[in-house]
Structure 1
Amino acid sequence: EEPIISFWMFKNRLFATSQILAFLYGGTFIILAVFIPIFVQAVYGESATSAGFILTPMMIGSVIGSMIGGTMQTKVPFRRLMTISVISFFAGMLLLANMSPDTARLWLTLFMMISGFGVGFSFSLLPSASMNDLEPRYRGSANSTNSFMRSLGMTLGVTIFGTIQTNVLTNRLADAFSGMKGAPSQISDPQAIFQEGARSQIPTDILNKVIDAMSQSITYVFLLALFPIALAAITVVFMGNARVRTSNEMKENE
């Protein structure tokens, strides 16, 4: 009688599409938070502290996107705002997927801000869309369902994409060192490229191969992430023209 998730709410098109988008956004946004610091530390050779701070521009972009989405949701339909969101997110992820060890930090910062800006819209819009036009007693359940779907997407996303990245890295390293005897023994500890002291002990030719393999494995994951973002773009089309109604509008309708 009192289910954790009220499945009847999925009959509402706006609610259903909002849950799908929360799932897809959660599964793709998490890989940015996980793999960008790894890219900075393993590919650029920077410290763990620097790798942690590198996410700041993306967070700033997401805050800006969330503010704009929250401000405009009473004036512009959810579908139009989420269209801006998914285009920005797709563009940012595409740019990240084309990175290489030679990509400047400035460009990485810009790519992250574009991605973060796109994702930021979802933080304010999807919870509002989930609760839109529902009776007050169901709004808490609707909001928590949206949070659950985002968390579920994050859990599955980091698991699936993490497994893919590991397999791609292993295969790239195997290909890179297939003709070099004894080379794998010098990189038996993958954590060596994350440690400045151990990293400096690795011969340059071997280190470059490891860096290239790490870079390719991460950008490959970003490339794959374009597919769920494309599914999100299709889902946005079905959101309809609903928007948040103000208190005055609700009184006028009554």
Structure 2
Amino acid sequence: MSNKQTNRPLVLIALVLSMFMAAIEGTIVATAMPNIVGDLGGFTLYSWVFSSFLLMQAITTMVYGKLADLFGRKPVFMFGVIIFLTGSILCGLAHSMTALVIYRLIQGIGAGAIQPIVTTIVGDMYTLKERAKVQGYLASVWGISSVLGPLLGGVIVQFIDWAWIFWMNIPLGILGIIGVYRFFHEDVGKEKKSIDYIGSALFLVGISALIIVFVQAGTVWTWTSLETVSLLLLFIACMGLFVWQEKRAVSPMMPLFLWKDRLIIIANLATLFSGMIILGLSSFLPTYVQGVMEESAIVAGFTLSTMSIGWPIFATVAGHLVLKIGFRTTALLGGTALLIGTFLFSLLDSDKGPVYAAISSFIIGVGMGLSSTTFIVSIQNHVDWNVRGVATSLNMFMRIIGSAVGASFLGGLMNQQMRKYFQEAEVNAEISNTEILLDEEMRQTFDPNELLAIQDGLSFALHNVYQGLFVIGLLTFIILLFFPKIYPKDK
């Protein structure tokens, strides 16, 4: 910290507002997409409105983490928020779906700085005892935003205009910039900085190729298509060159010694798998509740929102637990909750009803709250200031990659299992017909026998997806058994 005194309460308010702005963007856009498509057209680009944002967020997160270690947290945070707000203004002015996708890319470039740098600033400002609790409060921001997002999105679309789901970010971002600029002070060394341009470029190209494969393969392209194979080869080549470059760089973008540290390896692998669990749940649970259980969209939303309630509550609990029982035991409690939650989902059927699904969802939220806070606090407690930014960003990067892998793997599994069911049952039903299960009026007009067959196919496929989730939950728990017994010490 610098000689000037940082006003921690005001900086924390600014950070929470910025985090809320970035966190709510995912859920609020999802609610408004039907209206946006109705206005702009371009339904074929629907998924790219989300994927473009995720892609740029994923590939820039690590770069920002390193820049924050070199030049300080403040300039990197402010740059990220300004880019995010620029993207938000442009998104609201979009006149076509193509333009919206491009502007979402810009928004994603800014978003890559917000969450990791906010979390790193909190790691810098607070002692271990305080840090554990404050990181729990930051996790609450994500929980609250995922509950408020759909509600707020619905109100804005119905009563104002969809452009305001992007423009509402502007006052939040401006307050965030002012708070950090005026009240956060840090000491950054004046020595000449060395930026690893080659390593950063190789990382950006390689990870971009990988995420495009996850988005496109299994849906637009087959896994054996020329595009998929070419991009995977590009990813492997770039990562090979990236590792070579990091070994020789003066100030590597991703210090390779982080991957030799047992605590960081275990925390990052568990974060990768938990990212898959979250995506699998949020993507497929509403479809199951509406399509198989024949419940309304509101009930489907309720079954998922219980996870968003469990997560922040137990993220705050984790902040207290790590000080009393240590990192390893708290992480294992989180892993146990994830294992129980995914096991309950593997037993889910239409007879169990939405309350069963909501309870299972809550337990997974408990697991996420206990584990994610423990990982961040243990990593920040374990490394020095000059690598805290990149170590924090690496953990968040692993969750984004986990989400991308989960979307691709579990989505592919669902489609494959539905095809298999229809072939074996000799049902003449296209997978696209599953859309009718989500529309109550269309269900009434469809042949009951064919409707039942499609419903059974969806139920069979999603049962396999949830069994896949249980395997991922089991792997997460097994990995956490190797979490080292390192006790909290102030850093």
Asked whether 1:16 is paired with 2:265, we answer yes
Task: Select the structure of larger CA radius of gyration.
Answer: 2
Percent of matched pairs sharing the same residue: 24
What are the within-5 Å matches in structure 2 for residues 121-136 of structure 1?
121-136=370-385
The amino acid across from 1:155 in the alignment is A
CA gap of 1:195–1:125, structure 2 versus 1, over 3 A, is: same
Q: What are the Cα deviations for residues 47-67 of structure 1, in whole angstroms up to 9, with x where unaligned?
A: 334433431111111122211
**Larger CA deviation: 57-66 vs 156-165:** 57-66
C-alpha separation between the residues in 2 aligned to 1:137 and 1:216?
A: 50
TM-score, structure 2 normalization: 0.47
Selected match of 1:195 from 424, 439, 443: 439
**Larger CA deviation: 228-237 vs 15-24:** 228-237
The amino acid across from 2:335 in the alignment is V
Selected match of 1:78 from 323, 327, 336: 327
CA gap of 1:188–1:86, structure 2 versus 1, over 3 A, is: closer
**Larger CA deviation: 135-144 vs 6-15:** 6-15
C-alpha separation between the residues in 1 aligned to 2:475 and 2:300?
A: 30
Q: What are the Cα deviations for residues 23-59 of structure 1, in whole angstroms up to 9, with x where unaligned?
A: 1111122101111011112112233344334311111
Following superposition, the deviation at residue 188 of structure 1 comes to 6.4
C-alpha separation between the residues in 2 aligned to 1:184 and 1:14?
A: 49
The amino acid across from 1:210 in the alignment is I
Decide whether the 8 Å contact of 2:330 with 2:371 is kept in 1.
no
Selected match of 1:222 from 463, 466, 483: 466
Which residue is equivalent to 1:238?
Answer: 482
The count of aligned residue pairs is 242
Which residue is equivalent to 2:347?
Answer: 98
The amino acid across from 1:64 in the alignment is I
Asked whether 1:51 is paired with 2:300, we answer yes
C-alpha separation between the residues in 2 aligned to 1:149 and 1:20?
A: 8
- 2:251 aligns to what SS in structure 1? coil
CA gap of 1:206–1:72, structure 2 versus 1, over 3 A, is: same
CA gap of 1:196–1:76, structure 2 versus 1, over 3 A, is: same
CA RMSD across the alignment: 1.9
Asked whether 1:149 is paired with 2:394, we answer no
Higher relative contact order (CA 8 A, sep 6+): 1
Selected match of 1:89 from 335, 338, 353: 338
Structure 2: any 5+ residue segments left out of the alignment?
A: 1-249
The amino acid across from 1:238 in the alignment is F
What are the within-5 Å matches in structure 2 for residues 18-37 of structure 1?
18-37=267-286
What are the within-5 Å matches in structure 2 for residues 148-187 of structure 1?
148-176=397-425, 178=426, 184=429
C-alpha separation between the residues in 2 aligned to 1:130 and 1:167?
A: 39
- 1:184 aligns to what SS in structure 2? coil
C-alpha separation between the residues in 2 aligned to 1:145 and 1:188?
A: 38
Structure (1 or 2) with the greater helix fraction: 2
Decide whether the 8 Å contact of 1:19 with 1:130 is kept in 2.
no
Which residue is equivalent to 2:229?
Answer: none
C-alpha separation between the residues in 1 aligned to 2:255 and 2:418?
A: 42
Q: What are the Cα deviations for residues 112-165 of structure 1, in whole angstroms up to 9, with x where unaligned?
A: 111211122122111112222211111111100000011111111110111011
Q: What are the Cα deviations for residues 186-227 of structure 1, in whole angstroms up to 9, with x where unaligned?
A: x86331111111111122232222222211211211111222
Decide whether the 8 Å contact of 1:14 with 1:239 is kept in 2.
yes
C-alpha separation between the residues in 2 aligned to 1:173 and 1:10?
A: 45
Q: What are the Cα deviations for residues 99-118 of structure 1, in whole angstroms up to 9, with x where unaligned?
A: 11212222111111112111
Decide whether the 8 Å contact of 1:41 with 1:194 is kept in 2.
yes
